[in-house]
Amino acid sequence: MAMIEVRELHKSYGGRKVVDGVSFEVAEGEIFGILGPNGAGKTTTVECVEGLRTPDSGTVRVAGHDPVADREQVTLLLGAQLQESLLQDKLTVREALELYAACYPRPADWRELADRLGLTERLDIRFAKLSGGQKQRLFIALALIGNPRAVVLDELTTGLDPRARRDTWKLVEEVRDSGVTVLLVSHFMEEAQRLCDRIAVVDRGRITALDTPAGLIGRAAARTVVSFLPSAPLDVRALGALESAVSVEEARDGRITVTGTDDTTSALLSHLARHGVTAHHLRVSDATLDDAFLDLTGTDT
């Protein structure tokens, strides 16, 4: 049985479809990502999974339970990351952990959890005085305090500096390694690529692709990115006509970037040789999840 199952989920606000037939399953022990541009319907989808919103139609199951009808059961099975506004500024880390632990019949040992999440030194610090990274660590601790089998983490690293973001990613991996299934909402490509076993790309309320990060990248039309500084002026438009070329850009410093497939790279090198142009500072790289995302949604994040 899947840990989380969503079938044909529909939700509208004021007649506007926000979630339009979303279906996916999250297997036990998986980190499953929901990735999409702002307003795509990601939060609405996971709030239906958490039982915070009632779907207009479709079914949602968490370990076989309906989040609306079996609210109490699902609250015990599924930990949810709090929104910042729900914690009082004056509450200390210790008070928050004790308070939330008291809400569950079989809570985790909050001292152990604080230790795992690097919060032991911060126990007497008030919430308002914590750094962004420390707040997020506290939210992860609170999501895990009821010993859930799965957690929903929504835009966990938004607003964090790169270092704190990487530390948080490590924690999410540790959470998965401890046997907890993770449903992660993100609009950071790098985050999804690094953490997720599978990703559903959501655009305007629909899933446009569902695959492993490598599968999504492979599916994108553009797979190879070549950039170079030409030794002599080049007709940039002619490069756009090369086999399977998807885009050609010329930067202000004269660097040209051609996106396409391996065939485009071969055609480009032959083209340069024919025109007696040398490619200085040549870089060839595989497309990233960013490129795949643009292909699959037609939008940037």
Ligand X SMILES: Nc1ncnc2c1ncn2[C@@H]1O[C@H](COP(=O)(O)OP(=O)(O)OP(=O)(O)O)[C@@H](O)[C@H]1O
9 vs 242, which CB is nearer to ligand X? 9
DSSP 276: T
187 vs 194, which CB is nearer to ligand X? 187
Minimum distance, C-beta of residue 301 to ligand X, in the bound complex (Å): 9
The pairing of strands 224-230 and 78-80 is unpaired
Minimum distance, C-beta of residue 45 to ligand X, in the bound complex (Å): 7
39 vs 159, which CB is nearer to ligand X? 39
The residue to which tokens 């966990």 are assigned: 156
Structure tokens belonging to residue 161: 């500096």
Name residue 190's beta-bridge partners: none
Size of the chain in residues = 301
Minimum distance, C-beta of residue 190 to ligand X, in the bound complex (Å): 16
Q: Which residues contact 236 (CB under 8 A, 6 or more apart)?
A: 248, 250, 256
Minimum distance, C-beta of residue 216 to ligand X, in the bound complex (Å): 18
DSSP 82: P
Minimum distance, C-beta of residue 186 to ligand X, in the bound complex (Å): 9
Distance CA 287, CA 225 (A): 6
Number of H helices, E strands in the chain: 11, 13
Minimum distance, C-beta of residue 232 to ligand X, in the bound complex (Å): 45
55 vs 260, which CB is nearer to ligand X? 55
Residues in the site for ligand X, rule: CB under 6 A? 13, 18, 36, 38-44, 187
Distance CA 288, CA 193 (A): 9
Backbone angles phi, psi at 291, to 5 degrees: -65, -45
Amino acid (1-letter code) at residue 276: G
Quick check: 216 and 296 in contact, CB under 8 A?
Answer: yes
Minimum distance, C-beta of residue 22 to ligand X, in the bound complex (Å): 11
Sort residue 220 into left (φ over 0), alpha (ψ -120 to 50) or beta: beta
168 vs 297, which CB is nearer to ligand X? 297
Element (H, E) at 151: strand 150-154
92 vs 301, which CB is nearer to ligand X? 301
11 vs 271, which CB is nearer to ligand X? 11
